[in-house]
Each structure stands twice: as structure tokens, then as C-alpha cells.
Amino acid sequence: MKTLVIGLDGEDNYFWNIGDIGLQLDYYGELETFYSTFPSFLCSLTGKRYAQRMQGDFSSHRVVGHKMLWDYLGDIRQTYINIPATYPAEEVNGSFICGWKAKSLDSNSVRPISLIPKLEKLGYNFGKDLFESPAAEGRWDDFLNEGIKQIHMRTKAIKYLAKKDKPELLFAVYTTTDECLHQRIETRLGKNRIRTMNEILSEDLSSIIDEIQPETTIFFSDHSINDMGYHGPDHEETKWGTWGLITDLEHIPPRDKAHILDIFPTILASLDVNIPAVEGSSLIYSESDKKIFTDRLRRLGYLS
């Protein structure tokens, strides 16, 4: 696989600081975002800016006239799992499982539909409601256990589809992180349970990378969450999420701080696909960039 993209809903730079997590990043830093999930994930799929118009404005991703990532990739094998702001499912050369608005495994949320019985066997579900009663009843251990189950279920789906689709690009999002971080205050999930959730997610991510060996892995989040469990334009500090890279491609310096607008061109560069005119810029040089530089240096006599 060329590129694995992992969305970490609601995480910030602290995610990388949890001790021996097995994930060895080549580069990472703070990511400026649009404070909330819908505009940020949509931006990662188009390279454009979006505003969240109202609370709960999580309708279809089909913004008229906006070309989406898969429209740029043609026949490249590609797999999408649980990206918020994608509904209904798209026909791509690979698999597409929606995030948000998807409630059950049906033809609106899964393509191709032949995948549905296989996902049922895996125990795949969309999960959001599963957190509601433990939260309402204050059963925080149950809440955490539900979250961990969701993380493992998503991990299973990633590994299964990586093997089945053999995609060049696999783009998957973990949303349990957001569910848990919203409840981070001590009277609810609290620090220790959040730490456990992050450790388990890190272990799962390491095991995915070990198993599927992508050439480049791009991690990013869509916003962070403050100590009280909130995010959005009313909470300025939550504009900063995180990004990380594991890649042999060269990083374009000096970029510890990046913008969510940079994620889309970075994905295209990692796949060696031409980047259209967008506001953001890639965090890495593509293989063809590298070839152009080397040829130029050779012509100028700096390389033999």
C-alpha cells in the first residue's frame, strides 16, 4: 500500500506523548483546523475551506461543484472507512463505508453492497448511540469499554479491507476518540480512562502499520477538545489539532505547524498524483518532485 491516512477525531499533540506507544513518527506537529469535525474532514477530502453553519449541521457531504479526493484518483484502488461528512456511500475502485448519518449496514452506507454480509460477520457497526445510555447513567467504565470495542472493531475493518481491496490508498477515521474526549473531565471518564483509551488506540495503530506496511502513513485530527470537553468556534484553543507522518518521502521544511488545508495535497503527493490549485501545500515531496530536483541538480553538475 502506498498511503494509509488515519483520522483521529478530537486528538491533539498529547496523543503522541503517552510513553512507549510503539508508534515511531518521522514528523509531527500542531495542526490548525476549523474547530469542528464536519468542515475539517470535508477539507481533508477537497482541499477547500468550510464553515460549520450551525450546531448539528452534519448533512450530506455533497457540496455542489466540489471535486472530492476520489474524483482525482481515477482507477487507483482506494478504501474509505468511517470518514465523517461522507454520506451516502460512493462508488470507488475499492470499498466505501460511510461515517455519520449512516445507521445500519445498507446500500446507502456501504459500497459495494456485496461487502455488507462480510462487515456483518466482522461485527461492524456505526456505534454512536452505543455511548448514550452509559453516559446518561454515569456508567463510565462501561462507556470506556464500549469505546475500546469500537476502536478494535474499526481496526479489524481496516486490516480486513487492506487485505481484501489491496488499495493504494486506505483512509479511515476513528471517532471513539471524540466520544471519549468530550467526557474527559474527572467526574466522568477522567484522565486515567482517557489515557487507557489512547494507549489502546496507539497499540492498534502500531499493529495496523506492522501488518500492512504502508509506504506513507498520514495521521491528522479535525480539532482538539478543551479540558471541559468542548470544542468549536466558541473555544478558540480547540482550533489546534495534530498531524503526524511516517514516511520515506522527504518532509518540506520548516513545517511543524501545519493547517488542515495541507492534508489534502499531502495525500495526493504521497500517491504521486498531481495536486490541483489549492490553498494548502503538501508536507512532503512526491516521488516526481524528487525526480525533478535530482534531474535539475544533475544538469547543473551537482550530481553525477
Which residue, among 215, 233, 220, has the nearest Cα to 261 in the 3D structure? 220
What cell does 284 get?
512532503
Supply the minimum distance, in Å, between the C-beta of residue 83 and Zn ion.
15
Distance CA 178, CA 154 (A): 14
Distance CA 115, CA 105 (A): 9
**Cβ nearer to Zn ion, comparing 201 with 246:** 201
- 102-105 long-range Cβ contacts below 8 angstroms, 24+ apart: 102/126
Distance CA 8, CA 208 (A): 15
Q: Which of 12, 146, 168, 178 binds Zn ion (CB under 5 A)?
A: 178
11 binds Zn ion (CB under 5 A): no
Distance CA 277, CA 41 (A): 19
**Cβ nearer to Zn ion, comparing 52 with 79:** 52
Calculate helix-pair angle for 263-270, 37-46, nearest 10 degrees. Answer: 40
**Cβ nearer to Zn ion, comparing 146 with 168:** 146
**Cβ nearer to Zn ion, comparing 1 with 181:** 181
Among 27-35, 138-146, 170-178, 281-289, the segment contacting Zn ion (CB under 5 A):
170-178
Among 24-32, 148-156, 157-165, 172-180, the segment contacting Zn ion (CB under 5 A):
172-180
What cell does 128 get?
454512536
Which residue, among 103, 97, 100, 83, has the nearest Cα to 221 in the 3D structure? 83
Q: What is the DSSP letter of 32?
A: E
**Cβ nearer to Zn ion, comparing 165 with 178:** 178
**Cβ nearer to Zn ion, comparing 55 with 187:** 55
Site string for Zn ion, 121-160 (x = CB under 5 A): ----------------------------------------
**Cβ nearer to Zn ion, comparing 178 with 262:** 178
Supply the minimum distance, in Å, between the C-beta of residue 127 and Zn ion.
14
Tell me the β-bridge partners of 220: 7, 243
Q: Of all residues in this chain, which one has the CB nearest to Zn ion in the complex?
A: 178
Among 104-112, 175-183, 209-217, 268-276, the segment contacting Zn ion (CB under 5 A):
175-183
Strands (E), 9-58: 27-32
Supply the minimum distance, in Å, between the C-beta of residue 238 and Zn ion.
9
Distance CA 84, CA 221 (A): 12
**Cβ nearer to Zn ion, comparing 56 with 253:** 56
Among 18-26, 178-186, 189-197, 255-263, the segment contacting Zn ion (CB under 5 A):
178-186
Supply the minimum distance, in Å, between the C-beta of residue 11 and Zn ion.
11
Supply the minimum distance, in Å, between the C-beta of residue 197 and Zn ion.
15
Distance CA 107, CA 135 (A): 31
What cell does 17 get?
506523548
DSSP helix/strand/coil, 17? coil
CB 264 within 8 Å of CB 248: no
Among 64-72, 100-108, 171-179, 209-217, the segment contacting Zn ion (CB under 5 A):
171-179
- Interface with Zn ion by CB under 5 A: which residues? 178
